[in-house]
Chains A and B, each alone.
Chain A
Amino acid sequence: MLRLIGHRIAMSIPLLLIVSLIVFALEALVPGDAARTILGENATAQSLAALRDQLGLNDPWTVRYGDWLAGAFHGDLGTSIISGVDVSSSLSTRLGVTLSLLIPSMLLSAVAGIALGFASAVRGGVLGRFIDVVSLLGFALPGFWVALILVAFFAVQLDLLPATGYQELTVSPGGWLKSIILPVLALSLHGITAVAKQTRDSVMEVLEADYVKFLRANGVSERSVRYRHVLRNAAIPVVTSLGLVSVGMLGGAVFIENVFVLPGLGSLATQATLDHDVPVILGVGVFFTLSVIVINLLIDIAYGLLNPKVRVS
């Protein structure tokens, strides 16, 4: 297992390099640059040329990327071209917001999804059909639309929760909770339904396995059959699904942050892309890549814990 973790961490270094290079290249392909963003539509050719020179935008891409990379290796992700704020500082300011959104969403997706899926599989009937229907809705309804409906009902109509904005956890725990309830629900809906559907299918498949019949025939209690044997054996595809859902949430957070006006990394990435603010785009790109690496690592560890064969291989 330790070898596996070490291997994964070693692989993350070239992955980070490749992703940052791709992000840099994609940004370069988008028409426009930061100088035009800063000077606006009325800028003269001379002032644009002067600012491009000042910002180093006329340098060859190898020099610009190399400069960024050299700084990144020393822990310096540069400074925002637009706001003049240190990128590491921007990321750390916004990291808490995004994690406040992502971690509860992942936990909610896991807990609610597995509970609903398992209950549906073992009970079937109306609950099973209900979860099927809700799963379809969860897949079909876009997160931002769900977000708008939640805001319209719980914020505007009932005035129970804030429509937009974020409160720091350290400033007011209650305010923090209020500010993330609706975003987390909107972001989790798809995850809950995806995990529930996967859990239901997986558990139903395992329930039909011969060894389950054998366990029951030997008088093992139904509780033990379900929770010690079935759930554990059904867990691997569920964990895979949870991993995919979690990675998908990184993208979903961009939309949800936009609707709820949360100052997280998603909205930072959106604005930086519109502004051609390359250091910020690369900084956020590195963070999201690291997040995907961590999620995959956690999934690998979970595989190992759930299935001894994975540990051996």
Chain B
Amino acid sequence: MHGTIPAPGPSRRGSRPRLAAAAALCALSLAVAGCSGSGASGSQTSTQLSLQFPGPPVSLDPAKAGNGSSTVFVSLAYDPLIYLSGKGEMVPDLAVKWGFTDQDNKVFELALREGVKFSDGSALDAKAAVASMNYFLKAGGGLVGKVGPVDKIEAVGPMQVRITYKKPTPEAPSTLTQYNGMGNLIGPKGLAAPDSLLTSSDGTGQFVYDGTTSVAGNRYVYKKNPHYFQPAAQHFDSTVIRVINNPNAVLSAAQTGQVQYASGNANTAEAARRSGLKIRTAPFFNWSLNLVDRKGTVAPALADVRVRRAIALAFDRPALAKALAGDYATGSNQVLLRGTDGYDKNIGYGYDVKKAKSLLAEAGYPKGFKLTVLTQSIIDPNSNYSQAVANALKAIGIDVTLKVQATGIAQFTADALSKKYAATIFPTAGTTMAELNSQITSGGFNPFNSTDSELDSILHKAATATDAASRTAEYQMASKRLEDLAWTVPLFATQNISYAAAGLENIQTSVLNPNPVPVGPTADLSWRLK
């Protein structure tokens, strides 16, 4: 027997049980497929739109809801005053006209659309709109800081609303879109019982939230609103948002048609493309190393601007982006993303390790120093991005210890505000300089309350500019000033990736709106199936 080639028999025998098991399962599946009625939840009728979202909503109360891609939970049931299209254009929605009535960009008026009803049956008028916006301001939601320094909101006519700001606020129209909360109007009945907004809805949107058939945290069901003002834009009888956070489960659900639109990621995008799904991308997060301790309270070295500039020169941004997210990220050397107002191709940090070391030596740190950097593993899974940042800083002698917060973004923010950390790794996200500036100079991006009079002066000029060209020029100057200050060091911009079924139409994304919503005030702005 020695030396003989083993016969294939045993291996065939060994594989029989597995083949038999697979065959049995196939047979059972086929039998079940034959006898089942409707498919499992997630399959849909031709008039149902099924979407995926990675987590439950922050809240279904528009005044306490989240923004970004989670806007979808609110926008299905609540129309905004001004609609931001996928291309980034401001489109009339509940407001048909708007504009400043003064030269200082402080008094803003909107004319409301006639003939609109909330799902509770009451009519939209200026009084209802003012009540909703005032409720938003007092509800204590997380978006209240994004709507500008509102002084007062009042009805100045049956269908005319006036917002007065404490400071010039040229970005007022964008603060009233679906992404910033205040413009999403709630009806009188909802305002009278805000808790009811968690289990039902009272908006003017295309759909009405159906809490009775929804399962919180798993499936959110919206049914067609019979009162909607533009029936031609209603392409679906119902919409379901399914909460799926496992990227592989997301891919499977999209590939098998259980969801027609889903959030993707760089790891599964190729598989999605191969299976015929349409991949949509738009730059969104501008990942940054935020040098927040500009007075040197925790890390004395960071008080010296030469040290901060040295750090900014330590990154080979294109290589970093390629290594971390392949084709779904690009190097970013300034706070504004390409395509946004104020982006300037002539400025930006370079990559120069020699110069970085020289700057550190000039500042008195020829051998570098130790730095603890706060990061998180929620939107930087496994802290891969953060590890790469730490490795790059090692090349110029800075020994980074990462403190990874894994319990949530909210806790990460609380840690950032604790003034225990001199630097954090977290992306900025914004399409206007005003939006970015409010982010960079507040909250977790500025726990030590740094101010710069030159930057403030530039932004004030931008806010009071009377024409777009001069405002753009001021934004470019602000961007350059932020580069000189090196408070926030941009590294790379990651793409928002989404998967759409081949037949799903009217979806548009852009750098100005990387998180499109499926509903819009016209037939062409609402998604539909071919």
Q: Are B248 and A172 in contact (CB under 8 A)?
A: no
How many angstroms from the CA of A263 to the CA of B214 in the assembled complex?
Answer: 10
How many angstroms from the CA of A258 to the CA of B43 in the assembled complex?
Answer: 18
Cβ–Cβ < 8 Å partners of B219 in chain A = 263
Binary CB contact string for chain B from 212 to 231 against chain A (1 if under 8 A, 0 otherwise): 00011111000000000000
Shortest Cβ distance from residue A263 to the other chain B in the assembled complex, whole angstroms: 4
Binary CB contact string for chain A from 164 to 196 against chain B (1 if under 8 A, 0 otherwise): 111100011111011101000100000000000
Q: Are A32 and B410 in contact (CB under 8 A)?
A: yes
How many angstroms from the CA of A83 to the CA of B33 in the assembled complex?
Answer: 35
Check: A271 CB closer than 8 A to any chain B CB: yes
Check: A313 CB closer than 8 A to any chain B CB: no
Cβ–Cβ < 8 Å partners of A139 in chain B = none
Cβ–Cβ < 8 Å partners of B56 in chain A = 82-83, 271, 275
Among A35-43, A61-69, A201-209, A225-233, which stretch is in contact with chain B? Answer: A35-43
Shortest Cβ distance from residue A94 to the other chain B in the assembled complex, whole angstroms: 7
Residue of B14, B36, B59, B242 ringed by the most chain A CB atoms within 10 A: B36
Check: A159 CB closer than 8 A to any chain B CB: yes
Cβ–Cβ < 8 Å partners of A31 in chain B = 405, 407, 411, 414-415
- Chain B interface mostly helix, strand, loop or mixed? mixed
**B122-146 contacts to A (CB < 8 Å):** 140-146
Q: Which chain B residue has the least Cβ–Cβ distance from A164?
A: B253
Binary CB contact string for chain B from 231 to 248 against chain A (1 if under 8 A, 0 otherwise): 000000000001111101
Q: Which of B10, B42, B411 contacts A36 (CB 8 A)?
A: B411
Q: Are B25 and A164 in contact (CB under 8 A)?
A: no
Check: A16 CB closer than 8 A to any chain B CB: no
Cβ–Cβ < 8 Å partners of B55 in chain A = 271
Q: Which chain A residue has the least Cβ–Cβ distance from B417?
A: A45
How many angstroms from the CA of A216 to the CA of B107 in the assembled complex?
Answer: 101
Cβ–Cβ < 8 Å partners of B252 in chain A = 151-152, 155-156, 163-164
**A91-126 contacts to B (CB < 8 Å):** 93-94, 126
Known A-B contacts A83-B216, A159-B256, A261-B253; A174 and B37 likewise in contact (beta carbons under 8 Å): yes
How many angstroms from the CA of A158 to the CA of B412 in the assembled complex?
Answer: 43
**B406-445 contacts to A (CB < 8 Å):** 407-415, 443-444
How many angstroms from the CA of A267 to the CA of B246 in the assembled complex?
Answer: 12
Cβ–Cβ < 8 Å partners of B216 in chain A = 80, 82-83, 85, 90
Q: Are B145 and A267 in contact (CB under 8 A)?
A: no
Check: A140 CB closer than 8 A to any chain B CB: no
How many angstroms from the CA of A51 to the CA of B58 in the assembled complex?
Answer: 14
Q: Are A178 and B218 in contact (CB under 8 A)?
A: no
- Chain A interface mostly helix, strand, loop or mixed? helix
Q: Which chain B residue has the least Cβ–Cβ distance from A180?
A: B40
Cβ–Cβ < 8 Å partners of A181 in chain B = 25, 28-29, 32
Check: B204 CB closer than 8 A to any chain A CB: no
Q: Are A40 and B58 in contact (CB under 8 A)?
A: yes
Q: Are A83 and B217 in contact (CB under 8 A)?
A: yes
Q: Are A39 and B64 in contact (CB under 8 A)?
A: yes
What is the number of residues of chain B that contact chain A, defined by CB distance less than 8 Å? 68
Q: Which chain B residue has the least Cβ–Cβ distance from A39?
A: B142
Q: Which chain A residue has the least Cβ–Cβ distance from B27?
A: A160
Q: Are B42 and A172 in contact (CB under 8 A)?
A: no
Known A-B contacts A37-B408, A267-B218; A167 and B40 likewise in contact (beta carbons under 8 Å): yes
Known A-B contacts A165-B242, A259-B248, A259-B249; A175 and B37 likewise in contact (beta carbons under 8 Å): yes
How many angstroms from the CA of A11 to the CA of B209 in the assembled complex?
Answer: 45
Binary CB contact string for chain A from 238 to 253 against chain B (1 if under 8 A, 0 otherwise): 0000000000000000
Q: Which of B26, B37, B142, B249 contacts A42 (CB 8 A)?
A: B142
Cβ–Cβ < 8 Å partners of A263 in chain B = 215, 217-219
Cβ–Cβ < 8 Å partners of B36 in chain A = 172-175, 177-178
Residue of B56, B141, B410 ringed by the most chain A CB atoms within 10 A: B410
Check: A295 CB closer than 8 A to any chain B CB: no
How many angstroms from the CA of A272 to the CA of B413 in the assembled complex?
Answer: 20
Q: Are B17 and A172 in contact (CB under 8 A)?
A: no
Q: Are B195 and A162 in contact (CB under 8 A)?
A: no
Residue of A36, A90, A164, A173 ringed by the most chain B CB atoms within 10 A: A164
Binary CB contact string for chain A from 250 to 287 against chain B (1 if under 8 A, 0 otherwise): 00000000111111000110010011000000000000
Q: Which of B145, B218, B244, B255 contacts A156 (CB 8 A)?
A: B255
Check: B103 CB closer than 8 A to any chain A CB: no
Binary CB contact string for chain B from 52 to 74 against chain A (1 if under 8 A, 0 otherwise): 00011011100010100000000
**B27-54 contacts to A (CB < 8 Å):** 28-30, 32-33, 35-43
Residues of A that sit less than 8 Å from B by CB: 30-32, 36-44, 47, 50-51, 80, 82-85, 90, 93-94, 126, 130, 148, 151-152, 154-156, 158-167, 171-175, 177-179, 181, 185, 258-263, 267-268, 271, 274-275
Can you offer 13 A-B residue contacts whose CB atoms are under 8 A?
A: A31-B405, A31-B414, A32-B407, A38-B64, A40-B66, A43-B140, A44-B145, A94-B215, A156-B252, A158-B26, A165-B242, A175-B38, A274-B408
Closest 8 CB pairs of A and B: A174-B36, A40-B142, A165-B42, A263-B218, A36-B410, A163-B252, A84-B198, A47-B140
